[in-house]
Amino acid sequence: MKQREADKMPVSPHAMGAEAEMLPLFQERTAELQQRLKDEGIDVLIITNVDSIYYFSAYWGDLGLEFGRPTLLVVASNGDVTLITPGSESLMAYAMTWVADVGFYSDGVGEEWRDPLREAMGGVGKKRVAIERNDIPAVVSGFLRHELDLADEVDATSIIAQMRVIKSAEEINMIRQAGQVAIAMGIAGRDAMAVGVPEYEVSLACMAAGTRKAAEIIASEDPEALMSPMIHNLQALQSGYFTSYTHLHPRVKKIAHGDPVYMCFCSICHFKQFKIGYDRQYFVGSVDNETARTYNAAIEAQAAAFREMRPGVAAEDVHEAADDVYRSAGFAPSYRTGRALGYSSLEIPELKYGDRTPLEAGMVFAVDGGITVPEVFGARVGDTVIVTEDGIEIATDYQRDLQVV
Q: Give residue-wise pLDDT tens across range 246-261.
A: 889 999 999 999 999 9
Q: What is the CATH number of domain 169-394?
A: 3.90.230.10
Q: How many CA atoms lie less than 13 Å away from 156 in the CB half-sphere?
A: 32
Whether 18 has a pLDDT exceeding 60, the answer reads: no
pLDDT digits (tens, 9 = 90+) for 176-201: 999 999 999 999 999 999 999 999 99
Phi, psi for 168 (deg, rounded to 5): -75, 170
pTM above 0.95, yes or no: no
Domain ranges of the chain: 4-163, 169-394
SS (H, E, C) the chain: CCEHHHCCCCCCCCCCHHHHHHHHHHHHHHHHHHHHHHHCCCCEEEECCHHHHHHHHCCCCCCCHHHCCCCEEEEECCCCEEEEEEHHHHHHHHHHCCCCEEEEECCCCCCCCHHHHHHHHCCCCCCEEEECCCCCCHHHHHHHHHHCCCCEEEECHHHHHHHCCCCCHHHHHHHHHHHHHHHHHHHHHHHHCCCCCEHHHHHHHHHHHHHHHHHHHHHHHCCCCCCCCCCCCCCEEEEHHHHHHCCCCCCCCECCCCCEEEEECCCCCEECCEECCCEEEEECCCCCHHHHHHHHHHHHHHHHHHHHCCCCCEHHHHHHHHHHHHHHCCCCCCCCCEEECCCCCCEEEEECCCCCCECCCCCEEEEEEEEEECCCEEEEEEEEEEECCCCEEECCCCCCCCCEC
Confidence at residue 125, expressed as pLDDT on a 0 to 100 scale: 59
Confidence at residue 13, expressed as pLDDT on a 0 to 100 scale: 39
pLDDT digits (tens, 9 = 90+) for 336-376: 999 999 999 999 999 999 999 999 999 999 999 999 999 99
> What amino acid occupies position 163?
M
Higher pLDDT, residue 304 or 14: 304
Contacts of 261 (CB under 8 A, 6+ apart): 189, 193, 199, 202, 237, 238, 239, 243, 255, 281, 282, 283, 284
Indicate the length of the chain as a whole number: 405
Q: How far apart are CA 263 and CA 250, in angstroms?
A: 9
Q: Is 169-394 in the same CATH topology as 4-163?
A: no
> What amino acid occupies position 384?
T
Contacts of 286 (CB under 8 A, 6+ apart): 257, 258, 404
pLDDT digits (tens, 9 = 90+) for 277-288: 999 999 999 999
pLDDT digits (tens, 9 = 90+) for 72-112: 999 999 999 999 999 999 999 999 999 999 999 999 999 99
Give yes or no for a contact between 163 and 39, defined as CB atoms under 8 angstroms apart. Answer: no
> What amino acid occupies position 65?
L
Whether 16 has a pLDDT exceeding 60, the answer reads: no
Fold entry, domain 4-163: Creatine Amidinohydrolase; Chain A, domain 1 (3.40.350)
Give the pLDDT mean for 128-149.
Answer: 85
Confidence at residue 171, expressed as pLDDT on a 0 to 100 scale: 93
Q: How many CB atoms lie within 10 A of CB 281?
A: 25
Torsion of CA 339, 345, 346, 350, to 10 degrees: 0
Whether 19 has a pLDDT exceeding 70, the answer reads: no
